[in-house]
Structure 1
Amino acid sequence: MTTRIRPLALALGLGLAVAAASPDAGAQRKRAGRAPAAPAQCTDFYAQANADWLQAHPASAPDAAASALAGLAERALQQQRELLEEAMRAPRNEVQKLLGDFWASGLDEAAVEADGSRPIAPLLSRIDAIRRSRDVPAAIAALHQVGIPVAFNFAPDVDLRALDRHIGYFLQGGTGLPDPAFYTRDDADTRALRGRYRGYVRQILALTGTPPARLDADVDAVLEIETAIARKAQPAADLTDPFRTYAPVPVAELARRYRNLQLGAFLGAQGVENDLVSLPDPALFAELDAMVQRVRPEPWQAYLRWRVGDAMAPYLSRSFREASFAFRGQVLAGQPEPPPRWLQVLEAINTAAGPMLGREYAARHMSAEARALALRTAAQVHQAQLAALEHAAWLGPEARAEARAKLQALEIEVGTPRRDLDYTVQPMGRGSFGGNMLIASTWRHREEMRRIGKGNAERRWDMLPQQPALAYDLAQNRLIVTAAVLQPPVFDPADPATVYGAFAALVGNQLTRAVDGRGARVDAGGALRDWWTPAERAAWARLGERLAAQLAAQDSPGVPGAKVDGGRVKDETLADLAGLELAWQAWSAAHPQADQAEHQAFFRAWARLWAQQAGGNVAAGRLAADIHAPGPLRSNVPLANLPAFATVWGCQPGQPMRMPEAGQVRVWR
């Protein structure tokens, strides 16, 4: 279907206890002339601030992990579950009625089992009706309409020449393995994977009704079609560059260039009337165009039946689900067992009807007062950043003016997108979970297609309101704060220190992205234009390099003998430091009478965001790949660079949590 995360103080504490108990009088006299030991908050503030959490979440199995933010995500899932349970029992509006029926149909496993493959029977009949080559493009278009992309992908995204609108992007897709290289590499592991994949394709084709006598031929047909697509596709890693996928083409030219694929008719079937699309891989689409004629209808039928069965397998009877999980869950994702049924159903609802659930989630879990406080606090951080521009030493006068204009144009959206959707949906009922999945997926695809066109780029967010998230949207120059993130440990209206020390710091982190090295590639008007000079780029790089040196000197928690990769995590740490600086300025302006205890609570709220435990395997994996510093360093390194922290907590020169002034990195102070 379409879809669019070891405390260090313990050893120190034990060491001090042993020393204090020593009967060696000579040693005591020797220590008398030494400086007193640094207090815990000036040695490892993370461990001191999170002592209770760390005690309640001890390190366990090598593959286990826990964190304060993971706890927030789990709470949001439980809140969604409770909402759906109530919508099932007593819906309060039409959207809740749809959601409640969807939820009930998914939890009724006996009904799902009895339903078998019936939900996809109309789609399979549509495929069986293919008689000639010219029937294939219409079948492809019909499957895209219900949210099952075949042969290729098509989705809205920003027009890089006009960021105020979305256009449709024709992109590679339509294969069942995650990387085109899996179809062409010839090493032993890849051959073994293809063997497992072949078995999975065979299972799904059999479940969709392919006669036993045709199975081998149909499996061959599927793999031949997918291999032909993969041979013309680009490496998966290349698709992360948005400029690589942006190649605007007039729709009229597409219709002439790919007559067999009938792309003009395809767009009409999706309800897209725009005159421009992006198609970055003409060789791939030329191959698809040729395949429409070259490949007989029967192989196309096998391929399309497989794609439907694979896409819908998680939502059908047990035989489909077990086949899908055995390959996609265990072989590809390494999952030992499937999630509980309620979570599977919730994931399905978020995939197909996520914006519906988001609307109801925000109405239930975000009060008007909390939203107003979040908006007000974010605006204060925004103002602190505008003021800080005037003394940012790394910005020259022209870049400072560009940054000011961009920040003045920035918008802040909290809770849900400003523009609601059209919730006109075919009634679902409780009889067929797979049928409801197709109804909801068709609705979501329709709403996605409506994003295409001038003025529709801000139609929705790229995350759901029920997912905890706080992010800067570079294309739309807006800060997005979801409803789900407005709860502890990020946000607590009853605790101003948390609102600033955690939430405001994350806001500052993301607002800095508007004018950092990446943000400087888009100007206030939304044009792609680099408004930094080489001098600004060099100055920003020096800030990162200085932080990288600080980080690289630190032990990596949970990985004995390893140091943190400062180069990999420096950019995110720099954003953390910038956000903390802005949050402190906003807090100081909003609470000028705050006492020492309140100031201390501000910094404690920051450190508590990053509480985490990770088994050895998880810690090693993060060390090798994570772009964020481990929790203890994500807490402590920015704090050690902030003079206000040392002042509030009384940390003295030479103590670990007080970086010497000459070595401090500063972004917005």
Structure 2
Amino acid sequence: MIRSSLPLVALLAVTTASAGAVHGINPADINRNGDACTDFFDYANGAWRQQNPIPNYMDRWSRRWQSGEFNKEHVRDILNELSAKTDWPKGSAGQLAGDFYATCMDESRVDALGSKPIQPWLAEVDALRDKAGMQRMIGKLHDVGVFVPFIVYAGEDLHEPSQTVAHIYAGGLGMPDRDYYLKPDQRFVDTRAKYLEHVAKMFELAGTKPEQARQNAQTVFAFEKRLAEASFDNVQLRDPKLLDNPTAFADLAKLAPSFDWAKYFDAAHMPRNALNVTQPRFLQQVEEELATTPLPQWKTYLQWHVLNTAADSLSTPFVEENFAFNGKFLTGATEIKPRWKRCAEATDNQLGEALGQKYVEKYFPPEAKAKMQDMVKNILLAMDDTIRGLDWMDEATKKKALEKRATFFPKLGYPDKFKDYKGVVISRDSAWDNVVAASRWNVADNRSQVGKPTDRSRWGMTPPTSNAYYNPSQNEIVFPAGILQPPAFDVTATDAVNYGAIGVVIGHEISHGFDDQGAQFDAQGRLANWWTPADNKQFQAKGQCVVDQFEGYFIEPGVHHNGKLVLGESIGDLAGAKIAYRAYLKSREGKGPEPTIDGFTPEQQFFLSWGQWRGDETRMETQRTMIQGDPHPVAKYRVNGPLSNLPAFRDAFQCKADAPMVRAEKDRCEVW
């Protein structure tokens, strides 16, 4: 039954949109046997999910994910056009993206080469005779994006974000995170057994005899387990204060004296400036491995990570084995993605701004960017109004919060200046060699920023990407052209639909500037406190409400969300929906209300749009993986959790006070 804020007689009297007018939500997606006030996730697009089962090659499915996969068809069409032409100027965007894709698509050649493309790498590791050579090999692997056992990556200085420094991160694990190596739960025990089988099979495919391959797997697992024991868990990784460990270059030797840091930085062409060690305890464990682990075990470990990184660029047996563990077992997908999709993704991943130039020309017209700019402006103003209206924050903290909001820097669609990929050599000889060439350039490009003023024109996502992000150090919200497509954003949809979908995403990213992580960064992007003690205490209590709410959401008996892990994303969803709704109402001032369409008021369309955009059907295997390590809740609770706190949702669907989608006032969470 449809719940409405208008009586039935009034509904019948309202004029619906005429042919050719802007459209509302998708009424056919709604589960008419459901109830918006009982389970809005089921109601908003339960019919669509029933009629559109998850494709075998996907781990989740909704109109959002369908749109993302359809977007890859646009990318494929561009790449087919680029790759059909063989006389592009060498080094041009067309030549690089076209040849990379064509070589990836040449499956017969990839299969004929087998493991030959990586044999020189495996042989070079096997030929190592001392740990000095092994350290040089670590540097060579880092050069091409094989980051073991640690990662060095350029990023803003946490205390002076106008400058870029090197950050040293923990890395070197083959499973998703530390808990897979350590937790006693049966699902982790089963995963460890599968991982050992997987590592052994990959070594066998590369030519190692079965018994030796099994021994290699045990060596790899034991090595990685020791690294896992010294690594932060996923909740700790969300605490920027824990990751803030400024270190003078000379002091690196105190953490890992056995590693020749001077040679590493010199070979990487990075200055020996001050840097940040995100996990000192991990680096001490690396020192322990350098000092005590025999060279043969190091060699086995490094060879495994070459295999693991290269697998999807090698012949079919490698691809299928990699999918068997990382796809089928961990996500529940039963079929590998079509080759063209994997090749399109790989091209975007490695040469995204070369491809992106062509993408935005076709699929992101100026009028779309102009409408997005208007929406972002309105939602930022709504955030201002929200901050001013808070009854729990004093004027001193409000002033600081408004100063921070005023420095937000939106990026929409694509960079003003695309990367030129100068010096990258892409040919049609070997897919893996092309990955190496592109990775080498991307790593060098990142390293080139160390010791320089931060370049705010750089993007962390490619233009075709169907996603968005917030960067606290630059206080920027970024929306690539790939997400600014239907159903998230549609210039032919009502404002209610657009504000309910991409508007909530915009609000979500803005809210990240004020979630449990973002709130620790000031208006200049510095990791610095701008709160009064009393207000900070209030803020923490409001966050704890969200933690407690999500701790109560189970995906199966005994398995529930980790409220602290999903706190930031859940604050983002809660505040995002609230301020996007506020911005929508503000956008209609002076224009009058939008029409009721298909029996749904504009207010209902807003919330239905969010439910339909975010309403993923998700395989249970993927839900278990998400619960373990993903800071995002599973889709059902991303829809129901925030909306159950909002009086505006209750009013839009005339929900009773005791309805499941209405949290009691004493339990209601409101942060912003």
Per-residue CA distance 1:483-518 (angstroms, 9 max, x = gap): 112122222223452444443343234324434555
Who is 1:526 aligned against? Answer: 525
Who is 1:69 aligned against? Answer: 64
CA distance in 2, matches of 1:233, 1:658: 39
Per-residue CA distance 1:577-609 (angstroms, 9 max, x = gap): 4223432243124x5345554994465144223
Distance 1:46 1:376, change over 3 A: farther
Residues 124-139 of structure 1 aligned to structure 2 (within 5 Å): 124-139=122-137
Matched length: 627
Cα deviation for residue 438 of structure 1 reads 1.2
Cα deviation for residue 148 of structure 1 reads 1.0
CA distance in 2, matches of 1:187, 1:634: 27
Cα deviation for residue 137 of structure 1 reads 0.9
Per-residue CA distance 1:212-250 (angstroms, 9 max, x = gap): 896576556545544554454455654343332332211
Local SS of the residue matching 1:479? strand
Q: Which moved more, 1:604-613 or 1:146-155?
A: 604-613
CA distance in 1, matches of 2:514, 2:263: 42
Residues 174-189 of structure 1 aligned to structure 2 (within 5 Å): 174-180=172-178
Per-residue CA distance 1:412-441 (angstroms, 9 max, x = gap): 110124454341143312221111111122
Kindly indicate whether the alpha-carbon contact (under 8 Å) linking 2:504 and 2:610 is maintained by their aligned counterparts in 1: no
Distance 1:613 1:380, change over 3 A: closer
Specify the code of the residue in structure 2 equivalent to 1:583.
A
The percent identity for this pair of structures is 23
CA distance in 2, matches of 1:550, 1:268: 50
Who is 1:29 aligned against? Answer: none
Who is 1:83 aligned against? Answer: 78
Per-residue CA distance 1:138-164 (angstroms, 9 max, x = gap): 111001101112232222343222233
Local SS of the residue matching 2:341? helix
Cα deviation for residue 315 of structure 1 reads 1.0
CA distance in 1, matches of 2:530, 2:660: 36
CA distance in 1, matches of 2:637, 2:189: 37
Structure 2 segments unaligned to the other structure (5+ residues): 9-31
Cα deviation for residue 206 of structure 1 reads 3.9
Cα deviation for residue 122 of structure 1 reads 3.4
Who is 1:358 aligned against? Answer: 356
Kindly indicate whether the alpha-carbon contact (under 8 Å) linking 1:84 and 1:103 is maintained by their aligned counterparts in 2: yes
Kindly indicate whether the alpha-carbon contact (under 8 Å) linking 1:232 and 1:284 is maintained by their aligned counterparts in 2: yes
Per-residue CA distance 1:362-410 (angstroms, 9 max, x = gap): 3331112211221122123223433454433333211221122112211
Q: 2:412 aligns with which of 406, 411, 414?
A: 414
CA distance in 2, matches of 1:449, 1:170: 12
Q: Confirm whether residue 641 of structure 1 aligns to residue 648 of structure 2.
A: yes
Specify the code of the residue in structure 2 equivalent to 1:406.
K
Per-residue CA distance 1:612-631 (angstroms, 9 max, x = gap): 36489599979978276647
Distance 1:668 1:286, change over 3 A: closer
Local SS of the residue matching 1:424? coil
Q: Confirm whether residue 393 of structure 1 aligns to residue 391 of structure 2.
A: yes
Kindly indicate whether the alpha-carbon contact (under 8 Å) linking 2:157 and 2:165 is maintained by their aligned counterparts in 1: yes
CA distance in 1, matches of 2:663, 2:285: 62
CA distance in 2, matches of 1:297, 1:616: 42
Who is 1:508 aligned against? Answer: 507
Kindly indicate whether the alpha-carbon contact (under 8 Å) linking 1:628 and 1:634 is maintained by their aligned counterparts in 2: no
Q: 2:50 aligns with which of 53, 58, 64?
A: 58
Cα deviation for residue 316 of structure 1 reads 0.5
Local SS of the residue matching 1:361? helix
Residues 226-245 of structure 1 aligned to structure 2 (within 5 Å): 226-230=224-228, 232-235=230-233, 238-245=236-243
Kindly indicate whether the alpha-carbon contact (under 8 Å) linking 2:201 and 2:213 is maintained by their aligned counterparts in 1: no
Q: 2:115 aligns with which of 111, 114, 117?
A: 117
Distance 1:537 1:629, change over 3 A: farther
Residues 125-274 of structure 1 aligned to structure 2 (within 5 Å): 125-180=123-178, 194=192, 196-210=194-208, 222-223=220-221, 225-230=223-228, 232-235=230-233, 238-254=236-252, 258-274=256-272
Local SS of the residue matching 2:588? helix
Kindly indicate whether the alpha-carbon contact (under 8 Å) linking 2:555 and 2:623 is maintained by their aligned counterparts in 1: yes
CA distance in 2, matches of 1:287, 1:652: 55
Per-residue CA distance 1:10-32 (angstroms, 9 max, x = gap): 899xxx9xxxxxxxxxxxxxxxx
CA distance in 1, matches of 2:622, 2:220: 40
Kindly indicate whether the alpha-carbon contact (under 8 Å) linking 1:399 and 1:531 is maintained by their aligned counterparts in 2: yes
Q: Normalising by structure 2, what TM-score?
A: 0.77
CA distance in 2, matches of 1:99, 1:107: 12
Q: Which moved more, 1:218-227 or 1:480-489?
A: 218-227
Specify the code of the residue in structure 2 equivalent to 1:166.
T
Per-residue CA distance 1:29-73 (angstroms, 9 max, x = gap): xxxxxxxxxxx9997489999989654542687998642322322
Who is 1:574 aligned against? Answer: 574
Who is 1:481 aligned against? Answer: 479
Local SS of the residue matching 2:463? coil
Per-residue CA distance 1:310-338 (angstroms, 9 max, x = gap): 21112101232233233333444444332
Q: 1:380 aligns with which of 378, 385, 408?
A: 378
Structure 1 segments unaligned to the other structure (5+ residues): 1-8, 17-39
Cα RMSD (Å): 4.8
Distance 1:145 1:547, change over 3 A: closer
